[in-house]
A and B are shown apart, each in its own frame.
Chain A
Amino acid sequence: MNGIDQSILTLILLVPLAGALLVLLVPERGKMPQSIALVTTLFTFLLTLHLPAHFVQGQPGFQFEIDKPWIGSPAIFYHVGVDALSMWLVVLVGLLAPVGVVTSWKAIKTRTKVFYSLFLVQQTAMFGVFVALDLMLYYGFWELSLVPMAILIAMFGRKNGAKAAMKFFLFTFIPSAPLLVAILWLYAKTGTFSYTELQYFIASGALPVGPLCWVALAFLFAFAVKVPLFPLHGWVADTYSEAPVALAMVVAGKLGLYSMLRFHVGLFPVEARQMAPLLIGLAVIGMLYGACLALVQRDFWRMMAYAALSHLSLIVLGIYGFTFTGWSGAVYQILSHGVVDAALFLLLGVLELKCATTQISGFGGLAKKLPQTATLFVIATLAMIGLPMLSGFVGEFLILSSTFAGVSKGWGIAGTVSVVLGAAYMLWLVQRVFYGEENPTAAAKVTSDLSFGEHAVLWPLAVLMLVMGLQPGLFINTIQSGVHPPAAAVKSGPGRLILMDMQTRMPSEVQR
């Protein structure tokens, strides 16, 4: 390992923070804050690309790992690293950051200094969540990721930002408290915050089973609210409709889903498995429920919120189906969803800015005046509704087919219904916004199509959707190597468990 390999994750964490500081220090003049943010995020993205370039596929354990004592007592380590599961997610966060900056370029006109510095802090927090391997460190980043969001919703809300921020705050901070308690309990029992060591302790059965159940539940609760999982989605519609577009875009789903895989399924496989039937049921309900509600929304941000509930629930279904195909599909779908949502949000943000409304009925027939916007919107829509050869299909197909084969036919069929509903609400949106007779009020406000910056972001995203749909192997081979069990561990009788091999020094199959 050379020097860059060892410090790359630290760099990825520090560069956005440095950018945030710079934004604060430089006077708010002209386009200074957004320019600094753009440069910072682009540079960070380049840094994240170092990971796939130098990632050794098939090598067990974490890579680019740093494990240094930070605080002696309690024993908190600065322990970061990525494996097959988190590597592409880090790249995704890196990719979405400049997209977020471009989205905000015109939308955020006042208090840009505060906005961009908090946006960059948010980046660091998200990177941190994906790379932290020390539970206390992880918790710190987790909490940090909530703060800029809450503040920015309150500051930049569309109608009632303060109320939405309040809701977001209550929904996401409260579940963090049991999470903290649970982490502390684990530390008290084992004397370590280290992910890998805790995984070993838990798998070896050294911890009492009863309390462990509650600890697992506390973890799950925090993550389920964050995803969100039905019926804990109360915050999501208000947050999406009030949050600055860039924030809604970068935050959606990823953190909670990754945490479920790493810290719930990964740390507590037995408990997660016990909970799985309930979670599968809630996930399928969420898929259908979100889709139904998306059908009847009048505001497109609220619609996207319920659509997100539907799509993220699909990923939850993939996670708790406990099949390797489902896990691969779930991680892949997180990536695809991130890319597709980014493009859609950016385009909707453009539309909002041009026509000064978020009501779907305020649009109509805009394809004539905005042909490029319409084209890209249709491409992103098709990727979202899972048209084969675009990114959305692969994960959706893997998750649903593995649910059908590995979990139950009924849930598989019910989940597949949401595929029909998904096409219905998205195409209906496309039709009401772009097709049919031109809405004169909206059309009068439109003066120009997409700007250069928007093109520069959207076309690469569209190409990425196509590449992800045509050659999923580029990404999924790595992902698979992370969630695939060593050959010996595949067979497991009743009462035994398959430990998801998120790569550790531990035996993969453990008997209680």
Chain B
Amino acid sequence: MTAIFPLWLIPALPFAGFLLNGILGRRLPKWLVTGIAILAPLGSFVVVLGNMFGMFGDMPWPIFLSSDFRVVENVGTWLNVGSLHVPFSFTLDHLSLLMLLVVTGVGFLIHLYSVGYMEHDGAYWRYFSYLNLFLFFMTVLVLSSNVLLMFVGWEGVGLASYLLIGFWYQKQSAADAGKKAFIVNRIGDFGFLIGIFLLIANFGTLTFSDMAVQVSANPALAGGVITTICLCLLVGATGKSAQLPLYVWLPDAMEGPTPVSALIHAATMVTAGVYMIARTHFLFDRSPYALSVVAIVGTLTALFAATMALVQTDIKRVLAYSTVSQLGYMFLGCGVAAYSAAIFHLMTHAFFKALLFLGAGSVIHAMAGEQDMRKMGGLRKKMPITFWTMTAAVFAISGIPGFSGFFSKDAILASAFADGSLGKVLWFVGAVTALLTAFYMFRLWYMTFFGSTRDEHAHPHESPLSMTVPLAILGVLSVCGGWVAIGGGFYRFLAPVLGPRPEEAGSMEYGLMGIAVALAALGWYIAHRLYHQKPGSAQALAEAMPATYKILLRKYYVDEIYAVLLVKPLLMLSRFVLEWVVDFAILGGLAWLLGGTATLGGAILQRWQSGNLRSYAAWLALGAAALLLFLIFGHAMGQNFAIAVRY
């Protein structure tokens, strides 16, 4: 099967945008920069849509949904060394199609939004060239047919993230955060690389489809090696998708412009880990142990991050921890082999979390850069569009029935419950997390939009059209995005790639659903009591539990612990042990001793110490003369010399 439009166009368009704006942007008029920047993701989106409709133009939807299709396109060879052959090869199947729709669609909306948001920034062109670069790498990551090309996209989105977090590079904290993101991701990539080495060693190929064939042809393949590979890949995924223990970079990444947080650090890039696990699910399926680890890491992260979100006062940081927490849900879904449920949540999360960030951006924009929720309040009347769209997103993430997040979170929790006794425990933790989620989201909602303005200097106003239109579209998607799974159509769509959805809890599901909804309602109620009915009671609660509050506020001191346990010792070891003791004292001393011995050797050698280059030159001349002598006396002397050497 071939695509209507070549697949390489999908990454190529943003790349062209990156080059044009990156090289010429400084000299181009602003409208042209905007045009290039907007058209690139729109073009990619159209190509994706065109391919989708073109292929199934005449087919009725139900058949289209369950039809099996897979387009592979080879663009050229990248690496061909020894037995290793890595082509530039793209695959369009159900999974990558869905991801591409999300990435280019949401990506386009956020580009559009940025036009308004970044309007007054001096480095407008640089911002958009980085954003296009990100889309290029992200689409490569999604389309890749093999692990190594996926790694290209994987590292590339990390680069784009680094550049965009540190976009305002003169701010020390922004520069620090960018560097931190890259290095923490590198630690994850270390695991990913080892995983790739293991794949090469065990499969001899890096192409997903070839590996899947090998795995299915060998039913005995399980355990040890596969588990190791999966755990290595998981390490990579925890870095990119900000899971325990490598989540620390994501909250700091909020230093970047807010649309960047929406696109890269909420909707798309951070879900790459989930996508990677779904892509390699045929490996994870063979290792129950690795799956359990994925599920436990995900669940713990979900809970852990949610607790930290409870007390944050920076609106973006609340959302950042919430992202970490929601990604944890997706990992839980993967861990109980409900890959399609995880991808479902990935999709709905992309809608409502992008919307939350963009809404927060709209608020920050209106508040002239203020991010502290304690200084906000009463914005409901002044920014109605922002308020109503944000409300849709808050309802969606909290799991209010009918909204998109409800369906996807419920699907993951139901699958967890159906997955044995460990699953029941994980379900319970997940349900508690849902309570916390509802609480901190409604807390944000009340603090921002209700009550009265707490900052007299601010003159909030509704944002321009280029910002509110994306908000409105994402608002609709946040409400309706979950309906695609009613009747199971979504799961059937992904089944050709990810396999059928595992057994569900059956009639139990409605009971579980009820519990989750009740917990969410409880969370809303508590937030309502603390932040709306009795403002100030939250303060009192915090004062009642000072230790707990402080630990949460200081984020469990994880950054400090990492600094003391890892960073400081490494630097101390390098400076004091390696540089001073080994390099200077031991090796330097040895060299000095040897040099000294040589000097003491004789009066002739003493001349070396004179430091006079002319004497070196004399030595060279002497050496050359000796050489010449040897040449003249020739072979015979060589023989004698050789004898001398031998004895």
Q: Are B172 and A382 in contact (CB under 8 A)?
A: no
Q: Are A427 and B591 in contact (CB under 8 A)?
A: no
Q: Are B578 and A185 in contact (CB under 8 A)?
A: no
A427 contacts which of B82, B183, B642 (Cβ < 8 Å)? B183
Q: Are A435 and B166 in contact (CB under 8 A)?
A: yes
Name the residue of chain B whose CB is nearest to the CB of A484: B82
User: Which chain A positions have C-beta within 8 A of B500?
Assistant: none
Q: Are A296 and B574 in contact (CB under 8 A)?
A: yes
User: Which chain A positions have C-beta within 8 A of B634?
Assistant: 73-74
Q: Are B578 and A293 in contact (CB under 8 A)?
A: yes
CB distance from A161 to the nearest CB of B (A): 10
Given A76-B631, A388-B155, decide whether A365 and B81 contact each other with a Cβ distance below 8 A. no
In the complex, whether A498 has a CB less than 8 A from a CB of chain B is no
Which residues of A in the span 279-308 have a Cβ within 8 Å of any Cβ on B?
A: 289, 292-293, 295-296
Task: Fill in one digit per residue for A41-79: 1 if any B CB lies within 8 Å of its CB, else 0.
Answer: 000000000000000000000000000000101101000
In the complex, whether A104 has a CB less than 8 A from a CB of chain B is no
Q: How far is the CA of A211 from the CA of B646 in the complex (A)?
A: 7
Q: Are A413 and B641 in contact (CB under 8 A)?
A: no
Q: Are B642 and A188 in contact (CB under 8 A)?
A: yes
Q: Are B170 and A436 in contact (CB under 8 A)?
A: yes
Binds A, one of B61-69, B72-80, B300-308: B72-80
Q: How far is the CA of A161 from the CA of B178 in the complex (A)?
A: 38
Name the residue of chain A whose CB is nearest to the CB of B175: A435
Binds B, one of A28-36, A90-98, A245-253, A399-407: A399-407
A404 contacts which of B170, B201, B620 (Cβ < 8 Å)? B201
Size of interface on B: residues with Cβ below 8 Å to A: 68
Q: Are A423 and B635 in contact (CB under 8 A)?
A: no
Binds B, one of A105-113, A147-155, A502-510: A147-155
In the complex, whether A464 has a CB less than 8 A from a CB of chain B is no
User: Which chain A positions have C-beta within 8 A of B611?
Assistant: 162-163, 166
Interface size class of A (residues with CB under 8 A): 35 or more
Given A151-B613, A405-B201, A420-B186, decide whether A387 and B155 contact each other with a Cβ distance below 8 A. yes
Given A417-B190, A435-B170, decide whether A184 and B574 contact each other with a Cβ distance below 8 A. no
A436 contacts which of B77, B169, B196 (Cβ < 8 Å)? B169
Q: Are B641 and A328 in contact (CB under 8 A)?
A: no
User: Which chain B positions have C-beta within 8 A of A162?
Assistant: 611, 613
A423 contacts which of B151, B171, B183, B616 (Cβ < 8 Å)? B183
User: Which chain B positions have C-beta within 8 A of A184?
Assistant: 630, 638, 641-642, 645
In the complex, whether A165 has a CB less than 8 A from a CB of chain B is yes
CB distance from B630 to the nearest CB of A (A): 7
Q: Chain A contact residues: over half helix, strand or loop, or mixed? A: helix
Name the residue of chain A whose CB is nearest to the CB of B174: A435
Task: Fill in one digit per residue for A228-241: 1 if any B CB lies within 8 Å of its CB, else 0.
Answer: 00010110000000
User: Which chain A positions have C-beta within 8 A of B595?
Assistant: 170
Q: Are A427 and B182 in contact (CB under 8 A)?
A: yes
Q: How far is the CA of A147 from the CA of B613 in the complex (A)?
A: 11
In the complex, whether B639 has a CB less than 8 A from a CB of chain A is yes
Which residues of B in the span 164-194 have a Cβ within 8 Å of any Cβ on A?
A: 166, 169-172, 175-176, 178-179, 182-183, 186-187, 189-190, 193-194
In the complex, whether B543 has a CB less than 8 A from a CB of chain A is no
Q: How far is the CA of A169 from the CA of B607 in the complex (A)?
A: 14
Q: How far is the CA of A463 from the CA of B573 in the complex (A)?
A: 38
Name the residue of chain B whose CB is nearest to the CB of A155: B613
In the complex, whether B563 has a CB less than 8 A from a CB of chain A is no
Q: How far is the CA of A231 from the CA of B598 in the complex (A)?
A: 19
Task: Fill in one digit per residue for B87-131: 1 if any A CB lies within 8 Å of its CB, else 0.
Answer: 000000000000000000000000000000000000000000000
User: Which chain B positions have C-beta within 8 A of A73?
Assistant: 634-635
In the complex, whether A455 has a CB less than 8 A from a CB of chain B is no
Name the residue of chain A whose CB is nearest to the CB of B151: A388
User: Which chain B positions have C-beta within 8 A of A435?
Assistant: 166, 169-170, 172, 175, 178
Binds B, one of A18-26, A270-278, A470-478: A470-478
Q: Are B193 and A416 in contact (CB under 8 A)?
A: yes
In the complex, whether A359 has a CB less than 8 A from a CB of chain B is no
User: Which chain A positions have C-beta within 8 A of B170?
Assistant: 365, 367-368, 435-438
In the complex, whether A189 has a CB less than 8 A from a CB of chain B is yes
Q: How far is the CA of A434 from the CA of B81 in the complex (A)?
A: 38
In the complex, whether A389 has a CB less than 8 A from a CB of chain B is yes
Q: Are A428 and B172 in contact (CB under 8 A)?
A: no
Name the residue of chain A whose CB is nearest to the CB of B588: A234
CB distance from B644 to the nearest CB of A (A): 10
Given A387-B159, A413-B194, decide whether A428 and B642 contact each other with a Cβ distance below 8 A. no
Task: Fill in one digit per residue for A179-219: 1 if any B CB lies within 8 Å of its CB, else 0.
Answer: 00100110111010000000000000000000100000000
Q: How far is the CA of A174 from the CA of B130 in the complex (A)?
A: 52
Given A71-B631, A150-B616, A293-B578, decide whether A328 and B82 contact each other with a Cβ distance below 8 A. yes
In the complex, whether B156 has a CB less than 8 A from a CB of chain A is yes
In the complex, whether B558 has a CB less than 8 A from a CB of chain A is no
Q: Are A292 and B638 in contact (CB under 8 A)?
A: no
In the complex, whether A394 has a CB less than 8 A from a CB of chain B is yes
Which residues of A in the span 320-345 have a Cβ within 8 Å of any Cβ on B?
A: 323-325, 328-329
Q: Are A188 and B197 in contact (CB under 8 A)?
A: no
Q: How far is the CA of A434 from the CA of B82 in the complex (A)?
A: 41
In the complex, whether B587 has a CB less than 8 A from a CB of chain A is yes
User: Which chain A positions have C-beta within 8 A of B588?
Assistant: 234
User: Which chain B positions have C-beta within 8 A of A431?
Assistant: 175-176, 178-179
In the complex, whether A424 has a CB less than 8 A from a CB of chain B is yes
Which residues of B in the span 331-352 have a Cβ within 8 Å of any Cβ on A?
A: none
In the complex, whether B9 has a CB less than 8 A from a CB of chain A is no
CB pairs A–B below 8 angstroms (25 shown): A74-B630, A150-B616, A169-B616, A170-B598, A184-B645, A185-B641, A185-B645, A187-B638, A188-B642, A292-B574, A293-B574, A323-B82, A325-B82, A382-B159, A387-B156, A389-B152, A389-B156, A398-B84, A419-B190, A420-B183, A420-B190, A431-B176, A435-B166, A471-B78, A473-B79
Enumerate the 8 nearest inter-chain pairs by beta-carbon distance, A residue then B residue, closest first.
Answer: A188-B642, A435-B175, A292-B574, A404-B197, A73-B634, A388-B152, A435-B169, A325-B82
* Besides A296-B579, A412-B194, A431-B179, 6 other A-B contacts (C-beta < 8 A): A74-B630, A187-B638, A293-B578, A398-B79, A428-B179, A431-B175
Question: Which residue numbers of A lie inside 8 Å of B, CB to CB?
Answer: 71, 73-74, 76, 143, 147, 150-151, 154, 162-163, 165-167, 169-171, 174, 181, 184-185, 187-189, 191, 211, 231, 233-234, 289, 292-293, 295-296, 323-325, 328-329, 365, 367-368, 382, 387-389, 394, 397-398, 400-402, 404-405, 412-413, 416-417, 419-420, 423-424, 427-428, 431, 434-438, 470-473, 476-477, 480, 484
